[in-house]
Amino acid sequence: MTAPLSPSQLKVAREIDAEVVRLLKIDGDEALLMGMLPLMGKFKPLMDAAKPGQLDALCEQFPGFGHFAKLLEAMASSIADGNFNDILGR
């Protein structure tokens, strides 16, 4: 069973989710890439403090948050592989 999320964790996830959804409506992943730096400042502490399963639960509860997490994961993987151009599936 996943540990319960704190109100502050939920608040940060909700803020990230709302901003991701807003950016995606503007111009998809390109807008998200351009506006992701402030979101990363909120995401990193949340990620560092998360207990097993909590990030997965947040991704399920907040689709924009999940999209952001997957984009960060894809970026990290592509950079590690030396394929930075593959981040957006190109």
Provide the domain count of the chain: 1
Q: What is the pLDDT of residues 3-57, one digit of tens each?
A: 888 999 999 999 999 999 999 999 998 899 899 999 999 999 999 999 999 999 9
Host domain of residue 34:
7-83
Residue 15 lies in a domain: yes
> 3-state class of 89 per DSSP?
coil
Residue 2 lies in a domain: no
* 44 and 11 Cβ atoms separated by less than 8 Å: no
Residue 89 lies in a domain: no
pTM of the predicted model as reported, rounded to 2 decimal places: 0.86
Residue 90 lies in a domain: no
**Cα Rg for the chain, rounded, in angstroms?**
13
Residue 50 lies in a domain: yes
> 3-state class of 65 per DSSP?
helix
- CA distances (Å), 16 to each of 5, 60, 81, 89, in order? 15, 14, 27, 23
Q: Which amino acid is at 72?
A: L
